[in-house]
Every structure is written in C-alpha cells, then in structure tokens.
Amino acid sequence: MADGLVQPRTEGTPQGGPRSPLLSNILLTTLDRELERRGHTFCRYADDCNIYVGSQRAGVGLLQSLTEFLDQRLKLKVKVAKSAVARPWQRKFLGYSLTWHQQPKLGIAKPSLQKLAEKVKALLRRARGRSLATTIQTLNPVLRGWAAYFQLAETKRALEDCDGWIRHKLGCVLWRHWKRPYARARNLVQRGLPEERAWRSASNGRGPWWNAGASHMHAAFPKSWFDHRGLVSLLDTVQRLQRSS
C-alpha cells in the first residue's frame, strides 16, 4: 500500500508470512554450513543470529570475516547498527537473554520487558472509566500470550517484578475510581482495615501511584485478591507451563 493505493510488489516478501522465513533459511543455510565448518557454537532464527566465541578479540575478527563472507558469497549486507561484539548477557535473541552467572540461565531481555510495560500502559489508558473487572479482561489475553512465549525463562525475578508492577497499576485504577476520601475509606474498611487507619490512609493527600504502592493498599488488596478476580499472573503461568511441558 502506498498512499492508500495497492501497488505491485517489486521486492521483498510480506512481513509475517511463511515465505520470508522459508526463503531466509534456504539462503542462509550456506552461512550455517560455514559456521559449522569453522566449529563455532551459534543459534540462528531467520536473519537473527548469535555466535558464541571465547574472547572479545575472537568476536571482533569473526564479525569482520563474516561480514565479508556474507557480502562476497551471498551478496548480503550486514546491518552495522544491529550487530555487535559483546558479552552474552548484554545481547538479546528472540526476546531472551542470558544471565551473567558461571552457569548461565535463560532470562527475559530488558527490551522485551519494556515493550510489555508500554503495551500494558496503552491498554490501561484505553480502559479509563471502565470497571476493574473489564480492565482485567482486557489485560489477560496479552499477559497470557506473553507468558506463553517466555515460558522457557529460568529466572523468576523479572516475572515477579512485572506482576507486582501490574498490580500496582491496577491499584491506581481502584484509587482513581473511588475519587473521594469517604469512598476510599469505606472500601478499605470493607477489605478489613481498621476504621482509623482506613480514614488516615484515605485522607493522606497523596496521589494514586503513591497510595497504590502503600502498605494500606497492599494489606487490603494482596496478590490473592487479584488472583480471585482472575488477573493472569505471569510467574504463575510460566511455572504452570513449565510443569506441564
């Protein structure tokens, strides 16, 4: 499409279709064979490839020689901006990264976590004015799909942090819905807080973000409360999928 009009395609294949990865695999099989001939440990998916060597010097030399190989043998140009020689935990591959431990674990790359946060923020902006139940229903398909993709992750911390941040954001939604101190105090009392503490918390004059992370909201609305409301937990989902695999 160009300016809203359909035009004949002159190069490339449609993004997301089956032909693009198929053709890339046919073409880049030559690269795979070359890396195997050299004895390198590597992992490639379509045009995304990580190659593991023993030193910075070896990595610099390999990047230069492969750039020349791809240019001369396959007539392909390496994108310099997306290519680098770095420690494994400083790079990402298909959304994953490796930890820095002596026995590295598979973790979730920071850009993947940032993209999830941006997606959740966008969904919550569109859900303003809706009930918490509706908001959770909007979030759940995204959280469930994201957890299914990252079910191979071996580190728990990032998943725990994401779960806590999402509950924090939903706590802001609740605090905004209540609007007035009376409604806030009443809802906190209904959730088991002593009346004096509820009124003190409801009239503290601080904003939704601060209150959503404060002890009175954690006490009134723990993780179990959100679980009961059907909110998908990333950590719980990943662990369940790992147990069943």
Average pLDDT, the chain: 92
Q: What is the DSSP string of 80-95?
A: GGG-----GGGS-BTT
Phi-psi region of 7 (alpha: psi -120 to 50; beta: other; left: phi over 0): beta
Residues 86 and 107: their CA atoms lie apart, in Å, by 17
Residues 219 and 57: their CA atoms lie apart, in Å, by 54
Digit-coded pLDDT (tens) for 125-151: 988 888 999 999 999 999 999 999 999
**Closest to 192 (Cα-Cα) out of 222, 230, 231, 162:** 222
Q: Above 90 in pLDDT, residue 95? A: yes
Half-sphere exposure of 239 (CA within 13 A, CB side): 10
Q: What is the mean pLDDT of residues 176-196?
A: 95
Residue 208: phi and psi, rounded to 5, are -60, -40
The model carries a pTM of 0.83
Digit-coded pLDDT (tens) for 23-71: 888 999 999 999 999 999 999 988 889 999 999 999 999 999 999 999 9
Coil vs helix vs strand at 96: strand
**pLDDT class for 116, splitting at 50, 70, 90?**
very high
In the chain, the DSSP E strands lie at 41-45, 48-52, 96-98, 106-108
Question: 66-72 contacts: CB < 8 A, separation 24 or more?
Answer: 66/31, 69/31, 69/34, 70/31
DSSP secondary structure letter of residue 98: E
- Asked if 119 and 125 count as a contact pair (C-beta separation under 8 A), the reply is no
Judged on CB neighbours under 10 Å (0-12, 13-18, 19+), 234 is buried
The neighbour count for residue 204, using CB atoms within 10 Å, is 14
Q: How many helices (H) and strands (E) does the chain have?
A: 11, 4
Amino acid in position 204: N
Least confident of 46-55, 107-116, 142-151, 215-224: 46-55
